[in-house]
């Protein structure tokens, strides 16, 4: 790779690595293994507990089915994998283009409710560079979607940046706003440890709807019924952990574009459903985007050294 071309090569894991945990919404005990994959494979999930057609589901925006409190991918025959957003954010943050994820249940394990455990797994496995060039989705003109008081927007921009504003109308969260440029390791340092969150008074309703059955103070920040106090004994990891987690979710959901984004995302009181609608609206307008080689100057990941393994190159 020369300084003149400043081309980034695709990456995958150096070796397979796994973990076990509880599904946030299903409550199921789940084992998951991340495997290396060849160039241009992309990110794919494979349900090892299901045989036959549909067990492999590409991690793409057009495979998104359910967006209630999480992002769920649905393949043929209704086979699905839920709560993919935190893992997808970690893969994006570590610059992983190709990975096969084997999972023996309906949902990615929630771990501690953040992306940090998945970053740790990837770092332990190691990262290798392939010969194929990484491509990026360059935003050419603004695209926006709205619903009620919520909105999500993608705009042209150098590199990849995410800004978010939230206002939950309670003292424990209040109004929070943050903007970050996600390059040179910023995701790992500033966003990855932010945990998912919820409200004590919503637990019974969510569980009756088949959601949050695996949720606990071990894997989520929980605000008490008065809206004034965080119930977790150790408190918050950041003073604005709530908006940081919304940025984390957006990073994961946007990586379902199938490649890194070159542009700026802004979310206002939005969530998984609106981000997916934004990608669908973007891809419906061919004048709003272009696929281009990713350049070193615009790279999101700052993950340290990687090894070159031409035996795995495509």
* Contact yes or no for 139/262 (Cβ under 8 A): yes
Q: What is the pTM of this model?
A: 0.92
Q: Which residues are catalytic?
A: 272
Q: Lowest-pLDDT range, 22-26, 92-96, 186-190, 283-287?
A: 22-26
Q: Say if strands 9-13 and 289-293 run parallel, antiparallel, or are unpaired.
A: unpaired
Q: Residue 64's CB: how many other CB atoms inside 10 A? A: 23
Please say if the pLDDT value at position 213 is more than 80. yes
pLDDT the model gives residue 302: 46
Q: Is 145 exposed, middle or buried (0-12, 13-18, 19+ CB in 10 A)?
A: buried
Residue 87 CA to residue 168 CA, distance in Å, equals 25
pLDDT in tens, 170-192: 999 999 999 999 987 999 999 99
Phi, psi of 167 (to 5 degrees): -155, 100
Place of tokens 């290396």: 36
Q: pLDDT, tens digit, for every residue of 130-174? A: 999 999 999 999 999 999 999 999 999 999 999 999 999 899 999
pLDDT tens profile 232-244: 999 999 999 999 9
pLDDT digits (tens, 9 = 90+) for 261-293: 999 999 999 999 999 999 999 999 999 999 999
The alpha-helical segments, DSSP class H, found in 79-187 are: 85-93, 116-125, 186
Out of 31-40, 49-58, 272-281, which region has the weakest mean confidence (pLDDT)? 49-58
Beta bridge partner(s), residue 19: 32
Is the pLDDT at 209 greater than 90? The verdict is no
Q: In terms of C-beta density within 10 A (0-12 exposed, 13-18 middle, 19 or more buried), how is residue 297 classed?
A: exposed
Contact between 163 and 265 (Cβ < 8 Å): yes
Q: By percentage, how much of the chain surpasses pLDDT 70?
A: 92
Residue 296: predicted pLDDT: 66
Mean pLDDT of the region 67-93: 95
Query: Residue 137 carries which DSSP code?
Result: E
Across the strands, what pairs with 56? 46
């Amino acid at each position: 790779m020369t300084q003149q071309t400043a081309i980034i090569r695709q990456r995958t894991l150096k070796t397979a690595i796994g973990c076990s945990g509880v599904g946030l919404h299903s409550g199921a005990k789940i084992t998951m293994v991340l495997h290396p994959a060849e160039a241009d494979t992309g990110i794919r999930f494979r349900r090892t507990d299901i045989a036959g057609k549909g067990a492999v589901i590409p991690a793409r925006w057009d495979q998104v089915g359910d967006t209630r409190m999480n992002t769920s991918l649905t393949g043929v025959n209704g086979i699905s994998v839920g709560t993919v957003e935190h893992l997808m954010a970690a893969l994006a943050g570590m610059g992983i283009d190709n990975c096969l994820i084997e999972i023996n249940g309906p949902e990615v394990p929630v771990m501690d409710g953040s992306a940090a455990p998945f970053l740790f797994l990837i770092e332990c496995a190691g990262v290798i560079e392939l010969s194929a060039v990484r491509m990026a989705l360059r935003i050419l003109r603004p695209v926006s979607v709205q619903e009620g008081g919520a909105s999500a927007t993608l705009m042209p921009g150098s590199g990849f940046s995410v800004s978010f504003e939230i206002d939950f109308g309670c003292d424990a969260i209040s109004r929070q706003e943050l903007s970050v440029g996600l390059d040179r390791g910023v995701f790992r340092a500033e966003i990855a440890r932010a945990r998912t969150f919820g409200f004590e008074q919503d637990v019974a309703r969510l569980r009756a709807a088949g959601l949050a059955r695996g949720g606990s103070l071990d894997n989520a920040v929980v605000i008490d019924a008065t809206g004034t106090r965080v119930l977790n004994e150790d408190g918050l990891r950041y003073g604005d952990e709530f908006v940081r987690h919304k940025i984390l979710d957006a990073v994961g959901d946007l990586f379902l574009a199938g490649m890194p984004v070159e542009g700026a995302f802004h979310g206002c009181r939005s969530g998984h459903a609106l981000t997916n609608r934004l990608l669908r609206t973007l891809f419906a307008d061919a004048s709003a985007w272009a696929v281009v080689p990713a350049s070193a100057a615009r790279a999101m990941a700052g993950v340290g050294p990687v090894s070159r393994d031409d035996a795995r190159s495509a």
